[in-house]
């Protein structure tokens, strides 16, 4: 790390003790910024780096709710409003038992650069709770969401902070959250949340956007080596929102996704994952991947507790799309993928590769797209949803998807040209970090010390 930046990072470690994911996210950005500070000393003169690591506001609140047995349950709610230099705070809500302040801060920090990369007028924020939706009844999920929004409503708004979904928060949860917001405020403010149902203010393509965008970005990376998805064999980890639509678009682009996973195991399906069956089980029945293998029959193989990346040691894999969760792909996994000839890795999830894994890909000249660029199609389409809400309009699927394609091409271009400008062509990590940072930093410079 640049010696001018090291003390700032040391201070981040000191002030945010124990928040290891947040440290990791800051480290990854700081490692890219030495050359920027050398070229633009004005950022250091007014402490932009120090300011950018400190959220503008952090809200932590109690979420009491009553379970089906009549017992009172208590969870912790979070909203970290990280940076509003470019627009209202924007970023999803995550409901997962592992959530603590450090998770939300890492996600919020990533989000502010990601949102900047889209070129759209949105700041960065993130929120969530340690609530575990798994095994809860629909009534319990609804009561939890209502209680969560009973506190959150006072902090959000179309011009202030616009949450959306993330792990554990899909269309059902956004519906309950929006219903409660509307009830408390007596205002139909469509643009206060995104990821809404298409019949009540949502945008076509928002559900598909993060997964589709991931495939579009990977496709752009492949083009730089005169390649495409045609005939490529692909691994997609996870089987949630991002994974399902990444699989769909890869199939439409001519690739074959031969495996996916959940937190319990991995399915290998040599003839290609049957998307219709997967969606039925995951989206309609809210079931597990083990059910997929059981119903698909002999063409698929389920390994409880399996490691999806190790599949590349046994069969040809050309592209890997980690779409599950943070730090799910480590150095050993990266070596197996790289040693067995993977061409490209594009992160549909947020920070799924450990720093050591990223180093392995870079040393092996594997095309590597970082999450803050690759998965930005989700938030970009949320911004398109806000545009439609503001103009009381709704756009067709094709029109919206075309906008997404153009946005993803633009992000790819921004990362690629910035990496080239800073002397490392093909380094998307460097390109994404610098392009995202400079857009936010320039706005912060213009605003003075605020
Ligand atoms: P979902 O809750 O819809 O799906 C998450 C998937 O990942 C589930 O299949 C889950 O399995 C699986 N998973 C979780 N932990 C592990 C693990 N340790 N090993 C293997 N699989 C695991 O979430 P999303 O698809 O929305 O989000 C996935 C990632 O994409 C997250 O990093 C999120 O932050 C990021 N993202 C999402 C966006 C969106 O628009 N939804 C936008 C940008 C980024 P199980 O059911 O067993 O828990």
Residue 284 DSSP symbol: I
Residue 345 pLDDT > 80, yes or no? Answer: yes
Assess whether 105 carries a catalytic annotation. Answer: no
Which helix (H) or strand (E) element contains residue 401?
helix 397-421
pLDDT at 399: 97
pLDDT at 323 over 80: yes
Which residue is closest in CA terms to ligand 1's atom 15?
Answer: 263
Whole-angstrom distance, CA of residue 367 vs CA of residue 254? 19
Looking from the CA of residue 170, the nearest atom of ligand 1 is 3
Distance, CA 44 to ligand 1 centroid (Å)?
A: 36
Alpha-carbon gap, residue 114 to 124, rounded angstroms = 8
Beta pairing, strands 300-304 & 319-322: unpaired
81 near 89, Cβ under 8 Å?
Answer: yes
- pLDDT band with cut points at 50, 70 and 90 for residue 269: very high
> Is CATH 3.40.50.10860 the classification given to domain 55-189?
yes
Q: What is the pLDDT of residue 371?
A: 97
42 Cα to the center of ligand 1, angstroms: 39
How does residue 286 score in pLDDT terms, banded at 50, 70 and 90? confident
Please give the Cα distance from 262 to 214 (Å, whole number): 18
Instruction: Please say whether the beta carbons of 177 and 193 come within 8 A.
Output: yes
Classify each residue of 303-313 as buried b or exposed e, where b means 16 or more C-beta atoms within 10 Å of its C-beta: beebbbbbbbe
Catalytic residue, chosen from 114, 126, 182, 372, is 126
Q: For ligand 1, atom 43, which residue shows the shortest CA distance? A: 375
Ligand 1 atom closest to the CA of 114, numbered from 1: 43
Query: Do residues 215 and 250 make contact, with C-beta atoms less than 8 angstroms apart?
Result: yes
> Ligand 1 within 6 A of 165 CB?
yes
Number of Cβ within a 10 Å radius of residue 398: 10
The 10s digit of each residue's pLDDT in 22-34 is: 999 999 999 999 9
Ligand 1, pocket-test mutation among 96, 240, 246, most atoms within 8 A of CB: 240
| Nearest CA residue ID for atom 11, ligand 1 | 262
Rounded to the nearest angstrom, the distance between the alpha carbon of 317 and the centre of ligand 1 is 22
Tell me the pLDDT tens digit for each residue of 379-425. 999 999 999 999 999 999 999 999 999 999 999 999 999 999 999 99
Confirm whether pTM is higher than 0.75.
yes
Q: Can you tell me the mean pLDDT for 145-162?
A: 98
Q: What is the pLDDT of residues 67-116, one digit of tens each?
A: 999 999 999 999 999 999 999 999 999 999 999 999 999 999 999 999 99
Mean pLDDT confidence for 157-184: 97
How far away, in angstroms, is 45 Cα from ligand 1 center?
39
- Alpha carbon 390 to its chain centroid, in Å, reads 25
| Percent above pLDDT 90 for the chain | 97
Locate the ligand 1 atom nearest the alpha carbon of residue 169 and give its number.
Answer: 2
Distance in Å, CA 348 to ligand 1 centroid = 9
Ligand 1 touching residue 375 (CB < 6 A): yes
* 238 CA → ligand 1 middle, Å: 6
Mean pLDDT score across all residues of the chain: 96
> With 90 as the cut, is the pLDDT of residue 299 above it?
no
Helix/strand/coil for 313: helix
Report the chain's C-alpha Rg in angstroms: 21
> What is the homologous superfamily of the domain 209-374 according to CATH?
NAD(P)-binding Rossmann-like Domain (3.40.50.720)
pLDDT of 298 > 90? The answer is no
Instruction: State whether the beta carbon of 328 lies less than 6 angstroms from ligand 1.
Output: yes
Where does the pLDDT of residue 378 fall: very low under 50, low under 70, confident under 90, or very high at 90 and above?
very high
Backbone angles phi, psi at 105, to 5 degrees: -70, -40
Distance from C-alpha of 280 to C-alpha of 14, rounded to nearest angstrom: 47
Q: Is the dihedral of CA 356, 90, 433, 308 positive or negative?
A: positive
Helix 355-363 to helix 331-339 angle (10° resolution) is 20
Out of 91, 108, 238, mutate this one to test ligand 1's pocket (max ligand atoms within 8 Å of CB): namely 238
Q: Atom 19 in ligand 1: which residue has the minimum CA distance? A: 263
Q: How far is ligand 1, taken at its centre, from the CA of residue 152, in Å? A: 23
How many angstroms is it from 300 CA to the middle of ligand 1? Answer: 22
Closest C-alpha to ligand 1, atom 18: 263
Question: Do residues 22 and 105 touch, judged by C-beta distance below 8 A?
Answer: yes
Q: Can you give the residue ranges of every domain in the chain?
A: 1-54, 55-189, 209-374
* Beta carbons of 382 and 359 less than 8 angstroms apart: no
Is 238 in contact with 349 (CB distance < 8 Å)? Answer: yes
In ligand 1, which atom is closest to the CA atom of 242?
Answer: 25
From 196, 324, 327, the mutation candidate for ligand 1 (largest count of ligand atoms within 8 A of CB) is 324
Domains 55-189 and 209-374 share a fold: yes
Tally the C-alpha atoms within 13 A of residue 259's C-alpha that lie toward its C-beta: 27
Mean pLDDT of the 188-213 span: 97
The residues near 21 (Cβ < 8 Å, ≥ 6 apart) are 102, 103, 105, 106, 326, 327, 351
Nearest-CA residue for ligand 1 atom 42 is 378
Q: How confident is the model at residue 297 (pLDDT cuts 50, 70, 90)?
A: confident
């Amino acid at each position: 790390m640049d010696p001018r930046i090291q003390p700032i990072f040391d201070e981040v470690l000191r002030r945010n003790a124990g928040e290891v994911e947040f440290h990791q996210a800051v480290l990854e950005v700081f490692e890219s910024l030495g050359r920027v500070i050398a070229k633009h000393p004005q950022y250091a003169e007014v402490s932009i780096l120090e300011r950018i690591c400190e959220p503008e506001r952090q809200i932590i609140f109690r979420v009491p709710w009553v379970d089906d047995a009549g017992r009172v349950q208590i969870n912790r709610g979070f909203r970290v409003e990280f940076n509003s230099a470019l627009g209202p705070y924007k970023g999803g809500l995550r409901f997962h038992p592992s959530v603590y302040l450090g998770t939300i801060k890492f996600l919020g920090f990533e989000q502010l650069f990601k949102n900047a990369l889209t070129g759209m007028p949105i700041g960065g924020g993130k929120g969530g709770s340690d609530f575990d939706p798994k095994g809860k009844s629909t009534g319990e999920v609804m009561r939890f969401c209502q209680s969560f929004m009973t506190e959150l409503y006072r902090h959000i708004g179309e011009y202030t902070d616009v949450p959306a979904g993330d792990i554990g928060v899909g269309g059902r949860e956004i519906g309950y959250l929006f219903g409660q917001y509307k009830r408390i405020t007596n205002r139909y403010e469509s643009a206060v949340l995104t990821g809404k149902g298409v019949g009540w203010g949502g945008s076509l393509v928002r559900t598909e956007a993060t997964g589709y965008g991931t495939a579009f970005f990977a496709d752009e990376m492949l083009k730089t080596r005169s390649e495409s998805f045609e005939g490529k064999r692909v691994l997609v980890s996870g089987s949630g929102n991002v994974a399902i639509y990444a699989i769909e678009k890869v199939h439409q682009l001519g690739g074959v996704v031969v495996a996916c996973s959940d937190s319990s195991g991995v399915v290998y399906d040599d003839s290609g994952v049957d998307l219709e069956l997967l969606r039925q089980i995951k989206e309609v029945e809210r079931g597990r991947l083990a059910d997929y293998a059981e119903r698909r029959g002999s063409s698929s193989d389920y390994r409880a507790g399996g490691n999806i990346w190790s599949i590349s040691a046994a069969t040809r894999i050309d592209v890997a799309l980690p779409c599950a969760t943070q730090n799910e792909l480590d150095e050993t996994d990266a070596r197996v993928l790289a040693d067995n000839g993977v061409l490209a890795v594009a992160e549909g999830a947020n920070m799924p590769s450990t720093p050591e894994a990223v180093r392995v890909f870079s040393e092996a000249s594997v095309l590597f797209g970082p999450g803050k660029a690759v998965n930005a199609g989700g938030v970009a389409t949320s911004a398109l949803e806000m545009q439609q809400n503001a103009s009381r309009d709704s756009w067709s699927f094709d029109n919206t998807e075309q906008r997404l394609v153009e946005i993803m091409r633009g992000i790819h271009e921004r990362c690629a040209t910035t990496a080239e400008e800073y002397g490392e062509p093909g380094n998307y990590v460097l390109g994404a970090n610098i392009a995202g940072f400079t857009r936010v930093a320039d706005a912060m410079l213009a605003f003075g010390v605020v």
